[in-house]
Structure 1
Amino acid sequence: MKMPSLRDSLAYEGFPQATRRVLEHVEASCSGGEAGTNLGALVEEFVHFRPPDALPHHTGLNALQELQLLQILSDYFGAKTNVGLARQVFMVLFGTRGGADRLTDHKLLGKLVSMCIATQHEMVLDCTAYWILQEGASTPPVLTLLTSIIQDYCMLMPGTLDTLQRVDKTSPSFACQFVTIVTSLYQLKPDAASSSHPPPSLLEVIAEWVAGNPRICLASLKDTKGAVPVTPIPGLCHWCVKSPLVRNPESTQEEAMIYSKLHLGILQSLLTAQNVAPNAKLLPVSAVEEMVSDLRALVQTSEGQGDAVQLAVERLAQVMQVAMATGSTQLNRKQVAGLYGQLPENRLLSLILSYGGEG
């Protein structure tokens, strides 16, 4: 059937049958490797309900129909067993399509993912993790999606936090990508104006994930073979190393303990990486350089915080000790010593840098 007649047939059927048929058509096209412009147009009109001739005030589906649409999408992906095909369909529905305005698409995706966290929908969450990898962790659509999830589960409905906490078991890939993006959303910086602390409830969830299962931080590696590893480890290292000196006005002793727990989880993740992805460079040189630079700036403004300074430097030393021992960084001891020259003396750091001579 030619596309114009298919489009007319779908328009005649209307929602929800047209949406179900488009999903079937997308799947058939992906199976045959024929996803193209016309396919995207059908998705725009009968999944996102943004027809090409829509007026500026076009409202699309009403609230009840939107709930039905979310259920249709959930049921469709829930019935899939071929992960590769499900990912292809997901990318056709929510991936980049010719620079179109995708605000509506991302609102729908945000609602779908939020619902699927509540229902612990493995396939949708796994597909979302793949979508994040393809879109890029720092792109506006991805940041918007994660901000929406944090808003839903940590701000608006904190009582549902235990639901979010179970996601690491339902979809380790999604949990891994989630943590990676959270560390870019919340960054502890020397400049208070540009520094932002993760919500305590979110920090606790992440610490539980990482400490409870060190492989969580490595879950994305199976989808990035041959590429630069994208994991939450650099961002989490930044958090743990700098947290003693970038104090949150609302921080508590309990929060300090959570960072300690998270730090131990990171070390375990680096050790576990030897078995999962030997010699994968999980701690890039640029991440270490930025961490050291920030730590130097923090030390200069931390008069009277000797214990906190030593804790921060010691955590950095421990991270580098494990990273060098496991081949998780390209830096050797001589290079690390050059970076750390302006940091306060620390016994553990001195031992690490002196051990093994120039290696």
Structure 2
Amino acid sequence: MSSTEVNLKQGLRKLEYPICAKEALYKIFDLICSRITSIKNMDLALDLMAEFVFYEVDRRGHKRAQQLSSLQELQLIKILYEYFNSISSESGRNTVFLSLFSGTTLSLRLGILTKFISTAIGIPSSKILSSASAWMQQLGNASPNSCKFAEGIIQDYFYFYVSSTEKITVLPQISPQFTANFMTAVAENYFNTTNKRDVCFPPKVLLETITLWISESTSLCVAAQQKQAMLPPGAIAMEATTPIAGLLKWCILSPIFKQENTFYNNLHLALLNSIMEIPKAVPPKAIYAQHLTVSINPILAYVNDLKNRQEKKLDQILHEDSLQLALDRFAQAIQVISSVNAMYGHVDDLFHQLKLLPFNKLMSIVLNNYKNKVVIL
């Protein structure tokens, strides 16, 4: 360790927490956002984060037995809020944000991150939410880390502080990119049928809010794809996954999970209107075909359940109201997506799998239209 590094750390150790955290953040910016960066500078910046910002290790690099107290966490969140709002450079702001909350350290810092972004929603900061949006995209806005983060925001605004939902209602106006990425992560957290016994459904107020967001702004779902985040030099920007397929899954599966109410109907209509307004892109990038196949197996499982547990005849199953409503919505979505050429990926495979579904008049029309289109091509 050089004398400069030793002096820097010794100087910060003389300061009480959270003053040392505040000073360390400015040093971190200089280390990783200067014109000439190095691995050595990055390593030093990471050391400063762990010891002085998040108080995770002691001067020897050993894990601290005592972590930040609740008061110290609040002090740190206030410092982070003021610090990120003071950075005028979007690239610099995102560089520091991505370093502070990297995928390798997130398990330790997720609680602070969630409280930090909840604050940026409650006391609106478009700068901070823009950096959070860039962070979600770089980690994958449908990744486990993004989904855990989104669940924390949901807990804050849709369970613990339901009276504060007006704060999050206007979120698309503050940061449409963050809102779009947030919806993508949220969509993954509900109607997840990987474990049938633990299928979770969105709280009513969350469903109402998302429906309102999309109804008021048809371009919201693709907002994160319309503006590229400013990243550090050499960084590869990750393409955002839109929330459309995930939210359509809610609408399609809600009837067979007996979650049907007018809000799913309204959300489905809002999504269809949103899809129709998707800007044309060559090649298409709005909806990945494989994401739409997720709804197929739960529908087939529902049919098997009707057949085995309720001992219904095939004719009764095919005319079951919940099943036909699910299939109608699925067919409507596929038809509208196809009509605006918004789908990419293994499209042929999707249509092949759709043939496995029980008969539905509208779906049969959609399949025949695609078959004729392919033949013509």
TM-score (norm 2): 0.82
Q: 2:159 aligns to what?
A: 155
What is the DSSP-based 3-state SS (H/G/I as helix, E as strand, rest coil) of the residue aligned with 1:338?
helix
Alignment of 1:58-73 (within 5 A): 58-73=65-80
Give CA deviations for 1:200-241 in whole Å, capped at 9, x if unaligned: 111111111122212221122134898655111111111111
Question: Paired residue for 1:89, among 87, 96, 103?
Answer: 96
Alpha-carbon separation, structure 2, partners of 1:187 and 1:329: 22
The residue identity in structure 1 corresponding to 2:323 is V
Q: 1:51 aligns to what?
A: 57
Give CA deviations for 1:84-111 in whole Å, capped at 9, x if unaligned: 1110011121114xx45x4442221121
Q: 2:47 aligns to what?
A: 41
The reply to whether residue 271 of structure 1 matches residue 276 of structure 2 is: yes
Alpha-carbon separation, structure 1, partners of 2:74 and 2:217: 34
Alignment of 1:117-156 (within 5 A): 117-156=121-160
The reply to whether residue 203 of structure 1 matches residue 210 of structure 2 is: no
Q: Which runs of 5+ in 2 are unaligned?
A: 230-235, 307-311
> CA contact under 8 A between 1:137 and 1:143: conserved in structure 2?
yes
> CA contact under 8 A between 2:125 and 2:174: conserved in structure 1?
yes
Alignment of 1:158-237 (within 5 A): 158-189=162-193, 192-221=196-225, 222-223=227-228, 229-237=240-248
- What is the CA distance between 1:355 and its match in structure 2? 3.6
Q: 1:2 aligns to what?
A: 4
Alpha-carbon separation, structure 2, partners of 1:325 and 1:319: 10
The residue identity in structure 1 corresponding to 2:210 is I
- What is the CA distance between 1:141 and its match in structure 2? 3.6
> CA contact under 8 A between 2:283 and 2:344: conserved in structure 1?
no
Give CA deviations for 1:182-213 in whole Å, capped at 9, x if unaligned: 11111253974142211111111111112221
The residue identity in structure 2 corresponding to 1:2 is T
The reply to whether residue 74 of structure 1 matches residue 81 of structure 2 is: yes
Q: 2:309 aligns to what?
A: none
The residue identity in structure 2 corresponding to 1:90 is F
> CA contact under 8 A between 1:278 and 1:327: conserved in structure 2?
no
The reply to whether residue 238 of structure 1 matches residue 244 of structure 2 is: no
The reply to whether residue 32 of structure 1 matches residue 23 of structure 2 is: no
Q: 1:252 aligns to what?
A: none
> CA contact under 8 A between 1:188 and 1:238: conserved in structure 2?
no
> CA contact under 8 A between 2:288 and 2:344: conserved in structure 1?
yes
TM-score (norm 1): 0.86
Alpha-carbon separation, structure 2, partners of 1:334 and 1:20: 54
What is the DSSP-based 3-state SS (H/G/I as helix, E as strand, rest coil) of the residue aligned with 2:219?
helix
Q: 1:251 aligns to what?
A: none
Alpha-carbon separation, structure 2, partners of 1:6 and 1:190: 50
Alpha-carbon separation, structure 2, partners of 1:334 and 1:177: 27
Q: Which runs of 5+ in 1 are unaligned?
A: 249-254
The residue identity in structure 2 corresponding to 1:108 is I
The residue identity in structure 2 corresponding to 1:43 is M
Q: Percent identity, aligned pairs only?
A: 26
Q: Which moved more, 1:66-75 or 1:335-344?
A: 335-344
Alpha-carbon separation, structure 1, partners of 2:194 and 2:253: 9
Q: Which moved more, 1:214-223 or 1:125-134?
A: 214-223
The residue identity in structure 1 corresponding to 2:34 is S
- What is the CA distance between 1:328 and its match in structure 2? 1.7
> CA contact under 8 A between 2:141 and 2:240: conserved in structure 1?
no
Alpha-carbon separation, structure 2, partners of 1:19 and 1:83: 21
What is the DSSP-based 3-state SS (H/G/I as helix, E as strand, rest coil) of the residue aligned with 1:339?
helix
What is the DSSP-based 3-state SS (H/G/I as helix, E as strand, rest coil) of the residue aligned with 2:268?
helix
Q: Which moved more, 1:14-23 or 1:258-267?
A: 14-23
- What is the CA distance between 1:42 and its match in structure 2? 0.7
Question: Paired residue for 2:25, among 12, 23, 38?
Answer: 23
Q: RMSD between aligned alpha carbons?
A: 2.8
Alpha-carbon separation, structure 1, partners of 2:26 and 2:64: 30
Q: 1:326 aligns to what?
A: 340
Q: 2:120 aligns to what?
A: 116
